Chain A
Amino acid sequence: MRTILYLIQKELLQILRNKTMLPIIFIVPIIQLLVLVHAATLEMKKIDMYIVDKDLSSTSRGIVQKFESSPFYYVNHHSFSIQDAENELKKGNIDIILHIPFGFESELVKGNNPGLQLLIDAINGTAAGLIQSYTQAVLADYNREIMLKWASPGMKEKPLSIEITRSFWYNPELNYKTYMVPGILVLLVTLIGMILTSLNLVREKELGTAEQINVTPIRKYHFITGKLFPFWIIALFELAFGLFIGKLIFDIPIVGSLGLLFLFAAVYLFAILGVGLFISTLASTQQQVMFINFFFMLLFILMSGLFTPVETMPDFAQVINIANPMAYFMRVNRMILLKGSGFYDVLPEFISVSIYALIVLSLAVWRYRKTV
């Protein structure tokens, strides 16, 4: 037991004295948090619209007006040339072209579909989908308005309508930051835990100090505990620090129990450090470790549901996600922080992560012995 303390003391000294690592551990993540959270938004702000109104009727002007007065649209181009409009689209200056053909109003009055056109730059498929649905909603609204206006006297029946009320729970303003902060925190804690652990161990191999340790009578699991413990503490501290910053700057809600969150994080980090340890047994140089880390981190991050919901991924991805520790914590962190989910709500994940940690750690320790 005393041996472990000596090791931990040495680890902490090394970390605290490293003038490059310290800022990397503590300052960089905060900057990352600030930048990433602001950058990672899929929210639509302004849609750049180009209007080609060839009809110039009161109805078409009504449509144009709708868009010009909408806060979501920025109508900065008008002309009669669809050619010009398409050129602008090609240059990437605008997102959408609204084309109102000549004779729009008269066709509409006759009861025909007057051939209104929307041309959308769809390279970013998601954005295009949103632009389309926003725009169609505006048009449908206007359509209803004129229907009611024109129809009232002579019509036998009023057109049907369904009133939709929307409420967004836990985050009524649809503030994406409250969603991203917990996610980015998971990312940072994982990055720090996994990369620091694996790099540290391989660094000792590379410098030859690992060998020195290996000829001492120290027990393997003492050594591994001594190695992992400091990083476990650092990662937990990082989580606390990140939460504090998140609360301070982004005012993220902390609805659930912090005790539960840290309990989960503590177990989760066993799994992550285990993965780091395992990776270190696969490599003999820091460069290799970094690449292996990189490979896994990319997989873990992209599939974890940080940016896109897991359930929209294909089935095979969901199967792979069973082996992705980040996916569990990503989900649980958000559930606890944002919705206040309790112990029983996160119990399945808790069990999964515990088993995961157990398997990975034993595997890593077993492999670590073999390589010696």
Chain B
Amino acid sequence: MKRFWGFVLKEFLHIFRDPRTMLILFGIPIVQVLLFGYVITNEIKDVKIAILDQSKDHVTIELTNKIISSGFFILDRNIKSINEVEDVFKEGNVRQVIIFESGFGKNLKREGTANIQLIADASDANTANLVVHYTMAIIGDFVREQNKLTGSPIQFVPEVRMLYNSELKGVYMFIPGIMAMILILVSAMMTSISIVREKELGTMETLLVSPLRPLQIILGKVTPYILLSFINAVTIIIMGNMVFGMPVQGSMILLLAESILYILLGLSLGILISTITKTQQNAMFISLFVLMLPTILLSGFIFPIENMPKILQWLSILMPPRWFITIIKNIMLKGTGLMYVWKETVILIVMTSVFLGLSIRKFKIRLE
């Protein structure tokens, strides 16, 4: 046992002594949280638009002001002809052109209706869609105000309540995702690489002929990463809370326990990868391409699962982070207890046992 702890200590020193590894271990989570919190927003803000106003009366000017002062849009330029639209888009800065028909104000007054054309650069379909919707909402608002002035009754304006995230902060969505990603990165990728490294450099044989038992060797390699991952999880929770006000509505103990379960899952996955690869390079690429990217994309971290094609939805069932993200979102934002997340917890436990079982089998075969 003493021998085992000596080995663990050696592994720890190995990690701590390298500033680059430490930077990655702690730098990545911090940068990620900040990036996602501040940089990655799906909100529309400061989008550049161009306006072609063929009317220039007080109504179009008022409406233009309303659109510009919304904060969503910046007026990049006024254009004079429909022919300029193409050039403006090709330059690549302007995302929407708003065209007021000539005699806009007059028409609105006389006929009660007037025409606006919105042309969006839909090469970015997502943003184009959002931009057009935002613009329509502003115009809709404008119409409602005008109608109120003229005293038209029969209006129902819904009262909207945004639950769990009243300010629609993107970070609430991302923090659970970052946690899921970082933890699997550290636990699966780092462990697999550090085990395979010993194989590649031939030091694994030295270890295997030592009085340490194979299981102890693996445990020794893995233990430091359990602790590091755990520290990472706590760092992210604290940062989320201090910097972005991400609450922990539910039980902290449950949250940490689920995190540990997920870390164990990552480790068992890392061990499994290490048993099937021979070089660090391969282990990295498997971790990166087979694990990381699909994890980011199929876990519902950035893109909602329900919108994906059916095949991908099924595939996402196999993604551990998907379940973990659901669990922590529930605990942190909705404040639900184990009652609501027991199903996901069981799935994680089953996955962990399967990975462990597989790696033990693989490992045994190799030793025989």
Contact = CB atoms under 8 A, between A and B. Distances in A.
Is there any pair of Cβ atoms, one from A and one from B, under 8 angstroms apart in the complex? yes
Interface of A: 20-21, 24, 28, 32, 35-36, 38-46, 89-92, 104, 108-109, 111, 113-130, 132-137, 139-140, 143, 146-147, 150-151, 155, 157-172, 174-176, 178-179, 191, 195, 199, 203, 206, 282-283, 285-288, 290-292, 294-295, 298-299, 302-303, 307-309, 311-314, 316-317, 331, 334-335, 338-342, 345
Contacts of B297: 35-36, 39-40
Contact of A157 (B140, B152, B170): B152
Given A136-B137, A287-B193, A331-B92, A121 B163 contact: yes
B35 A160 contact: no
B90 A342 contact: yes
Nearest to A349: B92
B183 to A, nearest CB: 14
Given A168-B119, A316-B38, 6 more contacts: A40-B302, A43-B129, A125-B172, A147-B155, A168-B125, A314-B38
Contacts of A119: 161, 163
A200 to B, nearest CB: 9
Contacts of A120: 160-163
A339 B88 CA distance: 11
Interface in B293-339: 293-294, 297-298, 302-304, 306-309, 312, 315, 326, 329-330, 333-334, 336
Most A Cβ at <10 Å: residue of B44, B92, B115, B117: B92
Secondary structure at chain A's binding surface: helix, strand, loop or mixed? Answer: helix
Contacts of A91: 340
B303 A39 contact: yes
A113 B143 contact: no
B132 to A, nearest CB: 5
26 contacts: A24-B285, A24-B289, A38-B312, A39-B312, A90-B334, A116-B156, A117-B161, A120-B160, A120-B163, A121-B164, A143-B155, A150-B154, A157-B112, A160-B113, A164-B139, A166-B117, A166-B132, A168-B122, A170-B122, A176-B125, A287-B280, A291-B20, A312-B43, A334-B123, A334-B124, A338-B123
B142 to A, nearest CB: 7
B306 A46 contact: yes
Contacts of A174: 122, 125, 128-129
Given A116-B158, A168-B122, A160 B146 contact: yes
B108 A162 contact: yes
Given A38-B312, A92-B326, A308-B40, A169 B122 contact: yes
Contacts of A104: 156
Nearest to B133: A133
B46 interface: yes
Nearest to B164: A123
Interface stretch (B23-31, B212-220, B266-274): B23-31
B185 interface: yes
The number of chain B residues touching the other chain, given as a range, is 35 or more
Contact of A167 (B47, B120, B281, B315): B120
B90 A339 contact: yes
Nearest to B85: A169
Interface string B130-156: 101110110110110011001011111
A160 B149 CA distance: 11
B56 interface: no
Contact of B23 (A35, A46, A171, A295): A295
Contacts of B167: 125
Contacts of A191: 288
A33 B119 CA distance: 30
B18 A288 contact: yes
A292 to B, nearest CB: 6
Contacts of B360: none
Interface string B164-197: 1111111011000000000001000110011001
B172 A116 contact: no
Nearest to A31: B289
A199 B281 contact: yes
Given A38-B309, A160-B113, A179-B125, A299 B303 contact: no
A117 B158 contact: yes
B40 to A, nearest CB: 5
A287 B21 CA distance: 8
Contacts of A288: 18, 20-21
Given A125-B169, A162-B108, A303 B116 contact: no
B43 A313 contact: no
Contacts of B243: none
B157 interface: yes
A133 B173 contact: no
Contacts of B284: 199, 286, 290
Most A Cβ at <10 Å: residue of B162, B166, B185: B162
B9 interface: no
Contacts of B165: 122-123, 125, 128
A111 B153 contact: yes
6 smallest CB-CB distances across A and B, nearest first, come from: A125-B168, A168-B122, A126-B42, A291-B24, A122-B162, A338-B123
Contacts of B7: none
Nearest to B282: A20
Contacts of B137: 133, 136-137
Contacts of A32: 289, 293
B63 to A, nearest CB: 8
Given A118-B160, A169-B121, A176-B126, A163 B39 contact: no
A334 B126 CA distance: 14
